[in-house]
Structure 1
Amino acid sequence: MSTEPEPAGDAEETESGTPDTTDATDAVAEAGSPAAGEGAKQLTEAEAELAAQRIERERIEKRKAEKKAAVAAGAKLSGKAADLLAAVRAVESGEKPAAAVFREPEPPRRPAPEPVRQPQPVSAPAEAVGVTAAAAPETVEAVRRVLAEGGAPESLAAQAVTTLGEGAEEQLRADPWQLLRIGGVRPEQADGFARALLGAECGPEDERRGRALIVWLLEQAAVAGHTALEMSTLTAALTRQSVPDPDAAVQDALAEGEALVFQDALDEPGVPVREPSQDEDDEAERPVRVLVGLERYALAEESLADGLARLINSVPKEDGSAAQWEEAAASAPGSAAELIRAVAGQGLVLHTGGEASLTEPAALLRAARDLGLRAWAATHSPIGRARFTTLTGGSAGADDVPAGPEEAGVTTVAGLLAGAEGPGRDAEGAFALDLLVVLDAPALDVETAALLVESLPDGARLVLAGDPAVLWSAGPGRVFADLLAARICPQVASRRPDPGPLGELVSGIGIGELNQVEAPGKEVVIVPVRDAGEAVHRTVQLVADSVPRALGVPAEETQVITPGHGGAAGTRVLNAALKERLNPGPGRFGGFDPGDRVAYSSAPGRTVPGRVVGADADGLHLSCADEAVVVPKERVEQSVRHGWALTAHQAVGGRWPAVVAVLPGDAAQALSRPWVYTAFGRADRHLSVVHGVEQALPRAVAEIAAKPRTTRLPVLLAPQVPTAD
């Protein structure tokens, strides 16, 4: 399905439904980088979360800096970094094969020591969350002048100051390709800007251009889910960008500290890992792959690996006797008993299953709380939080009023990290809990996962639970899939199938089969269409008339899901048609009217459905999961969309009484088994499939699995923890 670049601030929306449908070298031409938001007098929940994340990252970076010498920009490398750079050059020059250059494997690292944590406040100054105070008018005006001089849109001035800082004008004049750091700017636009400023001095061989392109390519690869790129992939992408000497450009970027280089040993499938003897030639060593990545993702993966090793190698806190844990397990049904027994003696446990399997983590949460543990569960979205709270079955008091999320011990990942929800943090900055159950674990990107794991106190237990068949995270990494493949901790697979015709349909898709199911209650309806125009017409008809009349599901409880934002039946077109039918209005508040359904992206990769309440001088007022949200007017365009229609990635973690999945003809290339599984699996009672892709749908289910992602987490975990049986 054709897509268009999206506004900064919602990384998931740059894809045609899923980042893993685009390989690393193509991704660099498809999406823009997220940009920092503007200032606000009062911090929102999202800003508080970003503050907590930034403080945590600073602490992680400090820890990493203690392990190895820092590389200053423009300085010569030293230590391991210098050795790696020399090794890469030796491989590229043909002096030595890769196996010979990297013949000494890195010694196994010891489990991570106790991290030094600092207290993390719920709120922080705006500067700490990446939201600058209003830039000085003269600074913005100076940047506006240099942008106009180079032929770039003057509207980028405020964003340039936010991204590049107070010295933005000087940076752009000294290195015009720094324009690529601004979200949405593409290489050809930066090249035109550089030609206008530099004149005859501008050329494709300019080292500044090569460095900027490398950073841009790695950022676009991250949008596609990769935490690093293979050296050959990166140099090939540079060649397509007309860089005359890609190898020299990479080496220059490494020397300047713009990127980092890694070497990972490759184990052949089915061959036991062994070290070569002293009598063997270096050529007999295991092959390696050379990767290049950005420091932020390298730090996140290393921090995550250290934190997971700490959990696995430490003894869980003794809360409840073995007999009490066994008694709790004996009273739990099915796989829930197995899950409770695994958690009793392990610091890290993985749990897999579909929607029906959520009753098992709920049983674990109740049992742990009955044993006196400070147990909490965290979901990906507020919709998931509400559903899981219901499954816990607790009550708030003697009047048997159903418990709210706080009373039931349920929060969202974002709220937990921000300190806006959940148990808060202790004096050392760790979460004040003994057990954390993270639901929707496949949605965890590597940075979020690292922040969660680093925030767990010693002796705490972590359970990652989710459905491995759904789409991977919108951000870089494939944390849950990597951990499942690594087999470094107990894994409990639920044996509880999703019920009914919808459960049968989705279960078949999960194993690559698109089956016809009996649906006597109209649980599944196929609506064939000939073209995109008919797809839009039938979708509006289903949401506004057919589903409410036949099933009693109102339009506000029906969610439309389509593969992408662009195209003749993407979210833009569908939302415009649905608004005209369901809530017509002039869109006087930045294109929105009271009553509009919206999708609010508080941070890249995180979308919350909501509804417009109104607008005033403070901004656009929304109601998201029964919580009031005010979006400053300068951030509305980049963080709020109409939400009658969503992409599958935006819908992850949610579930609706009725879902209309729209598959127009131009969506065929965007379909994959994880996309179909995720989209169809969001339906609770009814699924309508507006079908215009003919045989592309069964072919996608049967043949097109998740697109591979390049990550380093399995390699980082291997020397730290023993392989589980």
Structure 2
Amino acid sequence: MSTEPPETAEDAEEPGTPAEDAQVSEAAQVSEAEAELAAQRVERERIERRKAEREGPIEAGGKLSGAAADLLAAVRAVESGEKPATTVFEEAGPAPRRPAPEPVRRAPEAVPGPVVPAAGAVEDVRGVLVQGGAPEGLAVQAAGVFGDEGADVLRADPWQLLRVPGVRPEQADGFARALLGAGAGPDDERRGRAVTVWLLEQAALAGHTVLEMAALVAALGRQGVPEPEEAVQNAIAEGDVLVFQDAVGEAGEDEERPVRVLVGLERYALAEESLADGLARLVNSVTGRDGADEGWERAAASAEGSAGELIRAVAGHGLVLHTGGEASLAEPAALVSAARGLGLRVWAAAHGPVGRARFAGLAEGAGVATVAGLLSGAEGPGRDADGALDVDLLVVLDAPQLDVETAALVAESLPDGARLVLAGDPGVLWSVGPGRVFADLLAARVCPQIASRRPDPGPLGELVSGIGVGELNQVAAPGKEVVIVPVRDAGEAVHRTVQLVADSVPRAIGVPAEETQVITPGHGGAVGTRVLNAALKERLNPGPGRFGGFDPGDRVAHSPAPGRTLPGRVVRADGEGLHLECGGEEIVVPRERVESSVRHGWALTAHQAVGCRWPAVVAVLPGDAVQALSRPWVYTAFSRADRHLSVVHGVEQALPRAVAEVTAKPRTTRLPVLLAPQVPVAEG
């Protein structure tokens, strides 16, 4: 049996992009992402709980029938204590559904180090893997997932191998047959539960926080689970997944309000509930008036246009949304300056270091961090005794990039009475992680929304504005701000891209190669990032690649955690690892982490490029990229350019069709429903 590494959330979001081709190393340690999650757990434990108890679930269900109605009745009976799980689900003796812990806010101290499995545990797991025909290279990763009892867990339930990232159901089936023999059938209850959890993990990679029951049941059927409804019931009874009932629409006469039944993993479902509680706390809090009403009004009156509207909205509300393109950043900058002038503790946070530097240039003297640095405590104002951030106002930029877990941590970290502004461009790609927080909040209309009237200037601004409303307009570009380069095939696309970066753009536009960014739809394929980066390295920085394929001077993309990409360059390599310069900071990537977290970065995907801008961008649209194109992808790629955009165009009419017709892929979330009973709909 061979395994593939897990698809990144970015690959799941952008169709047609293959999973990464990396082998699991024997020396693999717990990733920075896992360490960050561990730190978050410790931080959450230290925060005093501030949110009120949520009201009970919606009593509905009259519109359900068949398996969904039976499941809903069973869940209610188990949770109310009327019947034990064994009676309702007709099982021999499953464990009762475990109570879900209530998430609380976090504090930054006491970050634990990576938990490395004991050598004996790794060897025990390796033995079971070999017995089942699985790659030995999974031993360290599997031991990290299951702990010291990993070997016993896998022997008792071989399908638990699906919890190891990158393993697919057919591979776990082969492993189970090798261990269990004829007893490993598709109707095994253990298989149904494990595949249910695996499908919800795959849904999270595609951006969903939950799945509708019908969609989950259908997906289980496609995976060969003979009784999919029963498999979901078993997973609920064992506490592997959570079930929810959300009201939709309005009730008719003498009828109950219809509901939809949703199933989700505890991690994302509770993060979404925690986010709703945190946002409701901000919306409903009394912002204190600060004794500075006149100061707010003077600041608003002196600001221009929608900047004044933003200042007035923030003066009287705990949560405000601000939308606009790159030029609109001047308005949050004006807000930050006004609030600082009133003596408030103010910080801003951007998605990455490039965005942080750009905003710091607009809001001179203001505190600006990255979102990850703010939450980890590496950047920002620090925390008070209760674990809350020492701020009166927090402005989060690039808000569409907030996944549900990160957004929950932001909301939980704010003290009572603080103000939160979420600012961003709603036209760009959504977050790599699950959820569509900014879009859900815009749709829910639970707080003031200030739309900037400050358009991005010039031909590029005109082009991107049209794309945002579904129109691919031909714009006048007297200064060669926009250039279309038609190509016939993949080979020509690669050749012309290298030519543009290395020669044409520097010569005709005056932007050097190191300030020109290539953006392409995916990592794989004949014109993906791998092929383009290899060609660009050969032309711009050839070398032996003695350190994992990298040489000093290489442009790279470092991914310390899923959904976070730091563009940078290689400074040097030594015994410590690969030394990178990313956003003005030096980062050392240990040798064993280089292969999994560093790529060459002359060419990026649009998701990797979000939150950054470059003087020149070469957007590559090869013929095999048609399925990956959408309006948000085109909008994101084209809007990364400050001065010049070259479009290597090989998709013909698929480009205007994608802009006009292919909107963002739907994501199933609960945030608007969770906010509805807690927050009144804002007027206007």
Instruction: Please give the per-residue CA displacement for 1:103-157, whole angstroms capped at 9, x wherever unaligned.
Output: xxx9xxxxxxx99756421x5221xxxx323x33222122122111111111111
| CA distance in structure 2 between the aligned counterparts of 1:47 and 1:215, rounded to whole angstroms | 19
| CA distance in structure 1 between the aligned counterparts of 2:210 and 2:177, rounded to whole angstroms | 30
Q: Which moved more, 1:585-594 or 1:150-159?
A: 585-594
Give the drift of 1:34: 14
Could you tell me whether the CA contact under 8 Å between 1:657 and 1:686 is conserved in 2? yes
Could you tell me whether the CA contact under 8 Å between 2:47 and 2:106 is conserved in 1? no
| CA distance in structure 1 between the aligned counterparts of 2:9 and 2:57, rounded to whole angstroms | 35
Please list every run of 5 or more consecutive structure 2 residues that lacks an aligned counterpart in the other structure.
81-101
Partner of 2:9: 12
The aligned amino acid for 1:296 is: R
Give the drift of 1:535: 0.6
Q: Is 1:155 aligned to 2:126, yes or no?
A: no
| CA distance in structure 2 between the aligned counterparts of 1:477 and 1:390, rounded to whole angstroms | 31
Helix, strand or coil: the match of 1:215? helix
The aligned amino acid for 2:213 is: M
Instruction: Please give the per-residue CA displacement for 1:201-221, whole angstroms capped at 9, x wherever unaligned.
Output: 111011111111111100110
Give the drift of 1:633: 1.7
Instruction: Please give the per-residue CA displacement for 1:77-110, whole angstroms capped at 9, x wherever unaligned.
Output: xx979x99xx7998434877989999xxx9xxxx
| CA distance in structure 1 between the aligned counterparts of 2:248 and 2:664, rounded to whole angstroms | 21
Partner of 2:292: 321
Helix, strand or coil: the match of 1:167? helix
| CA distance in structure 1 between the aligned counterparts of 2:680 and 2:490, rounded to whole angstroms | 53
Partner of 2:440: 482
Q: Is 1:262 aligned to 2:244, yes or no?
A: yes
Give the drift of 1:541: 0.7
Give the drift of 1:56: 4.4
| CA distance in structure 1 between the aligned counterparts of 2:451 and 2:23, rounded to whole angstroms | 36
Aligned counterpart in structure 2 of residue 664 of structure 1, from 601, 622, 631: 622
The aligned amino acid for 1:373 is: L
Helix, strand or coil: the match of 1:542? helix
The aligned amino acid for 1:499 is: P
Inter-CA distance 480–507: structure 2 relative to 1 (3 Å threshold): same
Q: What are the equivalent positions in structure 2 for 1:270-309 lying under 5 Å apart?
A: 273=250, 281=254, 284-309=255-280
Q: Is 1:120 aligned to 2:108, yes or no?
A: yes
Q: Is 1:612 aligned to 2:573, yes or no?
A: no
Could you tell me whether the CA contact under 8 Å between 2:359 and 2:368 is conserved in 1? yes
Partner of 2:332: 361
| CA distance in structure 1 between the aligned counterparts of 2:325 and 2:42, rounded to whole angstroms | 35
Instruction: Please give the per-residue CA displacement for 1:165-208, whole angstroms capped at 9, x wherever unaligned.
Output: 11111111111111111111111111111111111111101111
Measured on the aligned residues, the alpha-carbon RMSD in Å equals 3.1
Inter-CA distance 67–341: structure 2 relative to 1 (3 Å threshold): closer
Could you tell me whether the CA contact under 8 Å between 2:107 and 2:387 is conserved in 1? yes
Q: What are the equivalent positions in structure 2 for 1:520-669 lying under 5 Å apart?
A: 520-669=478-627
Give the drift of 1:285: 2.3
Q: What are the equivalent positions in structure 2 for 1:368-387 lying under 5 Å apart?
A: 368-387=339-358
| CA distance in structure 2 between the aligned counterparts of 1:155 and 1:35, rounded to whole angstroms | 6
Partner of 1:92: 66
| CA distance in structure 2 between the aligned counterparts of 1:7 and 1:260, rounded to whole angstroms | 27
Aligned length: 656
The aligned amino acid for 1:313 is: N
Instruction: Please give the per-residue CA displacement for 1:392-429, whole angstroms capped at 9, x wherever unaligned.
Output: 1x2xxxxxxxxxxxx42111100100111110111110
Structure with the larger RCO, 1 or 2 (CA within 8 Å, 6+ apart): 1
The aligned amino acid for 2:575 is: A
| CA distance in structure 1 between the aligned counterparts of 2:554 and 2:313, rounded to whole angstroms | 46
Give the drift of 1:616: 2.4
Q: What are the equivalent positions in structure 2 for 1:39-58 lying under 5 Å apart?
A: 39=29, 49-57=36-44
Partner of 1:174: 156
Could you tell me whether the CA contact under 8 Å between 1:320 and 1:372 is conserved in 2? no
Q: List, as ranges, runs of 4+ consecutive aligned residues in structure 1 with deviation greater than 6 Å.
A: 29-37, 59-68, 87-90, 94-102
Return the TM-score normalized by structure 1: 0.85
Give the drift of 1:63: 8.7
Could you tell me whether the CA contact under 8 Å between 1:7 and 1:638 is conserved in 2? no
Partner of 2:424: 466
Could you tell me whether the CA contact under 8 Å between 1:51 and 1:418 is conserved in 2? no
Partner of 1:228: 210
Partner of 1:431: 389
Helix, strand or coil: the match of 2:202? helix
Give the drift of 1:583: 1.2
Could you tell me whether the CA contact under 8 Å between 1:6 and 1:14 is conserved in 2? no
| CA distance in structure 2 between the aligned counterparts of 1:62 and 1:408, rounded to whole angstroms | 30
Please list every run of 5 or more consecutive structure 1 residues that lacks an aligned counterpart in the other structure.
69-78, 107-113, 268-272, 395-406
Helix, strand or coil: the match of 2:148? coil
Could you tell me whether the CA contact under 8 Å between 1:204 and 1:244 is conserved in 2? yes
The aligned amino acid for 2:335 is: L
| CA distance in structure 2 between the aligned counterparts of 1:184 and 1:335, rounded to whole angstroms | 47
Instruction: Please give the per-residue CA displacement for 1:436-482, whole angstroms capped at 9, x wherever unaligned.
Output: 00000000000000000000001100000011111111110000000
| CA distance in structure 1 between the aligned counterparts of 2:181 and 2:73, rounded to whole angstroms | 45
| CA distance in structure 2 between the aligned counterparts of 1:329 and 1:65, rounded to whole angstroms | 34
The aligned amino acid for 2:66 is: E
Could you tell me whether the CA contact under 8 Å between 2:4 and 2:166 is conserved in 1? yes
Partner of 1:345: 316
| CA distance in structure 2 between the aligned counterparts of 1:244 and 1:56, rounded to whole angstroms | 43
Could you tell me whether the CA contact under 8 Å between 2:621 and 2:650 is conserved in 1? yes
Could you tell me whether the CA contact under 8 Å between 2:44 and 2:107 is conserved in 1? no
Inter-CA distance 32–293: structure 2 relative to 1 (3 Å threshold): farther
Partner of 1:72: none
| CA distance in structure 1 between the aligned counterparts of 2:566 and 2:513, rounded to whole angstroms | 18
Could you tell me whether the CA contact under 8 Å between 1:49 and 1:419 is conserved in 2? no
Inter-CA distance 52–101: structure 2 relative to 1 (3 Å threshold): closer
Q: Which moved more, 1:89-98 or 1:540-549?
A: 89-98
Return the TM-score normalized by structure 2: 0.90
Inter-CA distance 94–454: structure 2 relative to 1 (3 Å threshold): closer
The aligned amino acid for 2:115 is: T
Give the drift of 1:657: 0.4
| CA distance in structure 2 between the aligned counterparts of 1:684 and 1:192, rounded to whole angstroms | 52
| CA distance in structure 2 between the aligned counterparts of 1:34 and 1:65, rounded to whole angstroms | 47
Q: Is 1:517 aligned to 2:475, yes or no?
A: yes
Q: What are the equivalent positions in structure 2 for 1:25-40 lying under 5 Å apart?
A: 38-39=28-29
